[in-house]
Amino acid sequence: MRFVQEIPHPQFRIGLYAWNGKYIVKIEAGPYEQTYKVNEMDLLQPDAVPSLLDVAFLEKVTQRFREMAIDWQETGERNDVF
């Protein structure tokens, strides 16, 4: 996997990678990560990726991270780990 660029964001660490004919967008928040793959043929250039990360999309990413944290906490409690 080849690192292409970091996409600045105040809340998340966002990295753009290229691998196997796809662009991979990795969004990290603490111990959690969301990954999105886009076929290179669907975009003219990697510079188009940041425009996909608009406010509406990132609000949903934020909500998904919250849900991931809740799910993780709940499974820990259910299984007497946390």
pLDDT in tens, 34-69: 999 999 999 877 788 899 999 999 999 999 999 999
Task: Output the pTM of the full model.
Answer: 0.90
What's the mean pLDDT when you consider all of the chain?
95
Expressed in angstroms, the distance from the first to the final Cα of the chain is 35
Q: Report the pLDDT value the prediction gives residue 27, as an integer from 0 to 100.
A: 98
Q: Report the pLDDT value the prediction gives residue 47, as an integer from 0 to 100.
A: 85
Query: Is residue 30 over pLDDT 80?
Result: yes
Q: Report the pLDDT value the prediction gives residue 82, as an integer from 0 to 100.
A: 81
DSSP state of 40: G
